[in-house]
Each structure stands twice: as C-alpha cells, then as structure tokens.
C-alpha cells in the first residue's frame, strides 16, 4: 500500500443500519482507489454492526467501541489512519464518485492543506431537498454572504459553511498540528475547521462550485434533538474564534463589547416581553419572589 498518496477515510457509525451500507459503498466505489476505510462503530444497538460485517473489501478496517459520542469515534479512527490525507464520512451521508480524486488533486495543484466543497442536501429517502426547504434557504444565504465578503474566516463567523465533518478533507500533517476533535456534542466540526484555518492561514480551500457529497437530513439527526445546547455551543465558539482572529492587543476590548452586546440583547428581550405582556410579567415576578422566599425559608 502506497502511504504517500493513500487517503484514509474514517466513518464513525452509530445506529444507522438503514444508511451505513450506502455510505460504505460510496467510499469503496470512488474513482480514486488508493484508500483505506476505517469504520468505528460507536456502540450501535441496531443492525449497524451486521451491515458493516457484510463487507469483505480488504481496504476496510472495522472496530467497535462502547458508545463515546461522535467526536471520540472520529478521533479514534483518525489515530488509526495511515494515509497522507484524511477524510471523514458520517454513516448517513454519501460521497459522490469522484470526490476523493478531485480533492487530492486540488491539494497538489493549489498547495491546499484542507479542502471542503459544496454539498447537496438530501432527505431520509435519498432525494434532494426542495430549493425552498428552510435548510436549503439557510445554507444558500450563508453562501451568499461568503461571496459578498470573500473572506473564509469571516464567513465562518456567520455560519458553518463546511456543514458537517463529512465535508472535511485534510492532509495528515495539518491534522496532527490541529489535534483531536474537541469534546463538543454538536459543533466539534465547527470548532475543528476554525482551528485548521488558524493553523494553516490561506491553505484551507472552499470549492464552492463543486458539489461532491450528499448531506442527509432526517428525523434522527443529532443536531435536531439539541437545538438549545447546539446554540449555546455556537455562541461560545463564535466568541472564542472572533477573538482568536484578532490581534492580541484588541482582544480584551472586543470581548468586553461582545459580552455587553449579548447582555443588552437579553435585557431587550425582557423589556419587550414586559411591555407586550404586562400582566404575565407581573405574575412571573410575583412567582419568582414567592419561590425565592420558599427557598430562603427552606
């Protein structure tokens, strides 16, 4: 096996028996053949292990672990990687047939250390989402902002253009420099791409005009079940990487202003509610005081 041009693809799999077979096939049928496929089953309780076990391709290395969350499954798979480049594919997404060949060639031609592409959103049935679907509209709005500002880091402060870990293609040298995925429940990919941009300025490339993977949205997507926690992670990451992208001398001022703006937004929400619903506001205040008294007396 020629490790100098070997691509290591990591699939973290969890309870995706209806999708994981298609994900595996989308890797094995790539036009680029010098690859290894590392599948980390993160303690699935459905038929996912049986589907994985049904593949006999010698390029596959499959391991099973107790459930440790997606970022751990990815980290463990990346530690097993032997290639010069590493790609990730979630077990419900799909690569287009020429994805890996296109990306490794782009890395060579453009001296890119990390590449991601435009994606095609699909539903549970595998059909593309309608153009007026809310997710599609959200993603296109973020792309329009990137085309306006033409600065990748700034665009990422607005939203995660990479969308998913499935869209990450990175050389092994930069992956070692960036380190492991952070222990974040929802936005470990968002955190990782910021760290990659900081570690390799100008060498993270967005192929905005090439659609080379399918991103599946369905009822069991992890992100859909944790909207509040995901936004809390999002808020913390935006503040962190807004500051990280500034000269050190400006960071204290920027952080103070950002935290004040967040506090003002919370205060405005309270005031708007008080003015719009005065009786509910008074009842809520009364209830809070009663609870405070009960707690103090208890």
CATH code of residue 180: 3.90.550.10
Any domain includes 254: no
Strand extents, DSSP E, the chain: 7-13, 35-42, 60-65, 85-88, 94-95, 114-122, 169-171, 204-216
CB 193 within 8 A of CB 153: no
Residues 51 and 190 in one domain: yes
Any domain includes 52: yes
Residues 17 and 79 in one domain: yes
Ordered DSSP codes for 184-223: -SS-HHHHHHHHHHHHSTT-EEEEEEEEEEEEE--TT-GG
Locate all alpha helices (DSSP H) within 54-150, ordered by sequence. 70-80, 99-110, 134-149
Confidence of residue 244 (pLDDT cuts 50, 70, 90): very high
Residues 205 and 287 in one domain: no
Residues 17 and 119 in one domain: yes
Any domain includes 284: yes
For the cut 80, the answer to whether the pLDDT of residue 231 exceeds it is yes
Number of domains, the chain: 2
pLDDT in tens, 107-133: 999 999 999 999 999 999 999 999 889
Residues 236 and 264 in one domain: no
Residues 272 and 155 in one domain: no
Any domain includes 164: yes
Residues 204 and 271 in one domain: no
Any domain includes 46: yes
Residues 141 and 265 in one domain: no
Residues 166 and 30 in one domain: yes
Residues 25 and 168 in one domain: yes
Residues 165 and 289 in one domain: no
Structural domain containing residue 128 = 3-244
Q: Quote the pTM value.
A: 0.88
pLDDT in tens, 125-163: 999 999 889 999 999 999 999 999 999 999 999 999 999
Dihedral angle, C-alpha 143, 144, 145, 149, nearest 10 °? 100
Residues 276 and 240 in one domain: no
């Amino acid at each position: 096996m020629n490790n100098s041009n070997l691509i290591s693809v990591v699939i973290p799999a969890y309870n995706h028996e209806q999708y994981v077979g298609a994900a595996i096939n989308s890797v094995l049928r790539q036009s680029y053949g010098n690859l290894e496929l590392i599948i980390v089953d993160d303690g699935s309780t459905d038929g996912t292990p049986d589907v994985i076990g049904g593949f006999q391709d010698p390029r596959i290395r499959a391991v099973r672990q107790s459930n440790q969350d997606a970022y751990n499954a990815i980290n463990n798979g990346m530690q097993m990687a032997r290639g010069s480049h590493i790609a990730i594919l979630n077990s419900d997404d799909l690569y287009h047939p020429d994805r890996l060949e296109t990306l490794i060639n782009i890395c060579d031609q453009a001296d890119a250390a990390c590449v991601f592409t435009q994606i095609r959103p699909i539903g549970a049935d595998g059909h593309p989402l309608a153009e007026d679907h809310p997710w599609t509209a959200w993603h296109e709005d973020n792309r329009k902002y990137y085309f306006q500002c033409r600065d990748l880091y700034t665009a990422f402060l607005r939203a995660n253009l990479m969308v998913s870990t499935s869209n990450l293609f990175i050389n092994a040298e930069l992956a070692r420099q960036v380190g492991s995925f952070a222990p974040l429940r929802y936005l470990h990919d968002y955190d990782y791409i910021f760290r990659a941009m900081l570690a390799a300025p100008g060498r993270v490339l967005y192929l905005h005009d090439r659609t080379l993977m399918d991103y599946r949205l369905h009822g069991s997507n992890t992100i859909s079940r944790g909207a509040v926690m995901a936004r809390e992670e999002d808020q913390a990451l935006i503040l962190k990487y807004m500051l990280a992208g500034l000269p050190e001398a400006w960071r204290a001022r920027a952080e103070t202003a950002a935290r004040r703006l967040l506090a003002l937004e919370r205060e405005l929400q309270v005031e708007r509610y008080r003015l719009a619903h005065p009786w509910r506001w008074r009842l809520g205040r009364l209830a809070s005081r009663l609870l405070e008294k009960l707690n103090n007396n208890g």
